[in-house]
Amino acid sequence: MNVIITGASKGFGKSIAEVFAANGHNIYMCSRTESTLYKTLGGLITRFPERIIKARPFDISKKEEAQAFGKWILDLNIPIDVLVNNAGSFEPGSVFNEPGNTLENMMAVNLYSAYHLTRTLLPKMMEQKNGHIFNMCSIASLQAYKNGGAYSISKFALAGFSKNLREEMKPCNIKVTTVYPGAAYTDSWAGSGVDPRRIMEAADIAKMIYAASQLSAQACAEEIILRPQLGDL
């Protein structure tokens, strides 16, 4: 399979790339930080030399760059088997006190990136009449929490996009899975004082996404919800 992953230089995206590559699949990925992306790319190529692994830096929170990444994928003229819309970021705050541009920033990174990239790749996937799209939402898409503010709003919106896309793509034989991860230890938790054993590993989410991608053509895991064993923080 050919697997396209956004926000793949670290965290969930990196773990997802590792799991798919380890299981024999080709990886095409992007991230906005060039140095981190190419470091991750080099590590993957070293570990999985038999796989095709390519990367290009794009800031897909910008519509034109999301479309440019999609065009790069299309120009490779490969089947699009799996698309993981993983790019995202978190800015803490509340509606009443967060900076005035926070919602715009969160919507651009957490929603519009997935929307514009998916729209760019969908014609090819619809022509293929197969493929699987994973949209990386959050527990914050299901339950608002303190200091979540615009981040939670944007993740609720991404979940709405994902649910709508699922209905639209049923006749095209394209699966859509909405992923709702709780707290998992990634770079964003480093230095926070949280015991890594209290929350999940990024690989836990990657393994579930991979498992869902391996179901029969007749089955679609519409939602994946994962929380730490002891519950949310």
**Quick one: three-class SS letters along 42-85?**
HHHHHHCCCCCEEEEECCCCCHHHHHHHHHHHHHCCCCCCEEEE
> Residue 192: is its pLDDT beyond 80?
no
Q: Identify the CA nearest to 83 among candidates 126, 28, 145.
A: 28
Stretch (H or E) spanning 190: none
Amino acid identity, residue 96? Answer: F
Task: Give the mean pLDDT of the chain.
Answer: 95
> Residue 233: is its pLDDT beyond 90?
no
Under the banding of pLDDT at 50, 70 and 90, the label for residue 195 is confident
What pLDDT, on a 0 to 100 scale, did the predictor assign at position 29?
A: 98
What pLDDT, on a 0 to 100 scale, did the predictor assign at position 194?
A: 84
Q: Identify the CA nearest to 223 among candidates 207, 212, 210, 231.
A: 212
What share of the chain in percent tops pLDDT 90? 88
Under the banding of pLDDT at 50, 70 and 90, the label for residue 193 is confident
Question: What per-residue string of b and e applies to 111-134 under the rule 16 or more CB within 10 Å gives b?
Answer: bbbbbbbbebbbebbbeeeebbbb
**138-161 residue pLDDT tens:** 999 999 888 899 999 999 999 999
Q: How far apart are CA 31 and CA 186, in angstroms?
A: 16
Q: How far apart are CA 229 and CA 167, in angstroms?
A: 31
Beta pairing class for 175-181 and 184-185: unpaired
Q: How many CB atoms lie within 10 A of CB 189?
A: 18
> Residue 65: is its pLDDT beyond 90?
yes
> Residue 188: is its pLDDT beyond 80?
no
**Dihedral angle over CA of 183, 132, 211, 41, nearest 10:** -70
- pTM score of the predicted model: 0.95
What share of the chain in percent tops pLDDT 70? 99
CATH number assigned to the domain covering 2-226: 3.40.50.720
133 against 186, higher pLDDT: 133
Q: How far apart are CA 109 and CA 197, in angstroms?
A: 29
- Identify whether the C-beta of residue 55 lies closer than 8 Å to the C-beta of residue 40: yes
